[in-house]
Amino acid sequence: MERTDIAAALGKAALLGSLSPAELRLLAARTVRKTFVAGELLFSEGEPCHGLHIVAQGKVRIFKTSAGGREQVLSVEGPGGSVAELPVFDGGPYPASVIALENTEIAFVSRRDFQAYCMEHPEVALKVLAFVGARLRHLVGIIEELSFTTIRQRLASTLVKLAQAQGVKTARGVEFRLPASHQEIANQLGTVRELISRNLTRLQAEGLIEVDAREVVVKDMPGLAALLDASA
């Protein structure tokens, strides 16, 4: 990307939506372009925070890894998404790891430059606070799901959301394609691939869904949604 492209990428970031074109060009002058191939780490949990990452193109996954090697996905960010807002200000290390899910271009602003820019543009600092608050609410939601729901319920919830967002009604039911592998879904739901496959098979045996690789047909939407009840 040329500098003008970086400015355009910054303008798509929700954090910077209030800035004028001239202000975005000034920030672009402090911004570095970084590229990552699919599967490459942007940084690892515990590393010192060097600055703010804004996704210009591609997609990244934010995740934590247990001592046993199991991943818990915290978020997936596409163009306009930002990563590492909090450690840019609190001085701590990166609290999670980030990996490119596909070939990705990042607009990177160093800690010092971004802090200085927020001093010049307080509205950006307020947006950072709003983003940090939203991330905290999201993480609390993940904790609640992991603590108070079963894998079966979490999987049913995911299928219902996908059916509502992407599903196409047909004579067979509501059809959609899983956007990720069973392993990736397991990472998102805090479990292992085998349990995802086992629960999909169980839901199919109960007549709620049909599964063919990543193609899913929800046969009984009310029945699937009923599993979300805490007593299910």
Distance CA 127, CA 23 (A): 16
Distance CA 151, CA 17 (A): 38
User: What pLDDT does 16 receive?
Assistant: 84
- Give the domain-ending residue among 147, 182, 213: 147
Do 156 and 143 share a structural domain? no
User: What pLDDT does 232 receive?
Assistant: 46
Do 30 and 141 share a structural domain? yes
Which candidate, 51, 56, 45, 74, places its Cα nearest to that of 4?
Answer: 56
Q: Is residue 105 part of a domain?
A: yes
Distance CA 57, CA 5 (A): 11
Tens digits of residue pLDDT in 101-153: 999 999 999 999 999 988 888 888 888 788 788 888 888 887 877 778 899 99
User: What pLDDT does 113 receive?
Assistant: 93
Interhelix angle 3-11/21-28, nearest 10 degrees:
120
Counting the structural domains of the chain, the total is: 2
Angle 209-212-214 from CA coordinates, rounded to 5°: 95
Distance CA 208, CA 94 (A): 41
pLDDT above 70 for 231: no
User: What pLDDT does 6 receive?
Assistant: 86
Structural domain that includes position 216: 150-226
User: What pLDDT does 217 receive?
Assistant: 95
Q: Is residue 109 part of a domain?
A: yes
Tens digits of residue pLDDT in 173-183: 999 999 888 88
Percent of the chain past pLDDT 90, that is, above it, reads: 52
Do 180 and 135 share a structural domain? no
Do 135 and 159 share a structural domain? no
Do 192 and 132 share a structural domain? no
Q: How many CA atoms lie within 13 A of 166 on its CB side?
A: 12
Q: Is residue 187 part of a domain?
A: yes
Q: 158 pLDDT band (50/70/90 cuts)?
A: very high
Looking at per-residue pLDDT, the higher value among 66 and 111 belongs to 111
Q: 4 pLDDT band (50/70/90 cuts)?
A: very low
Q: Is residue 231 part of a domain?
A: no
Tens digits of residue pLDDT in 81-104: 999 888 988 889 999 999 999 999
pLDDT above 50 for 29: yes
Do 14 and 115 share a structural domain? yes
Do 214 and 159 share a structural domain? yes
**Cβ contacts of residue 186 below 8 Å, gap of 6+?**
192, 193, 195, 196
- Across the range 13-31, mean pLDDT stands at 85
Residue with tokens 């196409």: 168
Percent of the chain past pLDDT 70, that is, above it, reads: 97
User: What pLDDT does 90 receive?
Assistant: 85
* pTM of the predicted structure, to 2 decimals: 0.70
CATH number for the domain that contains residue 31: 2.60.120.10
User: What pLDDT does 230 receive?
Assistant: 52
Tens digits of residue pLDDT in 205-225: 999 999 998 999 999 999 999
- Give the domain-ending residue among 147, 166, 192: 147
pLDDT above 90 for 18: no
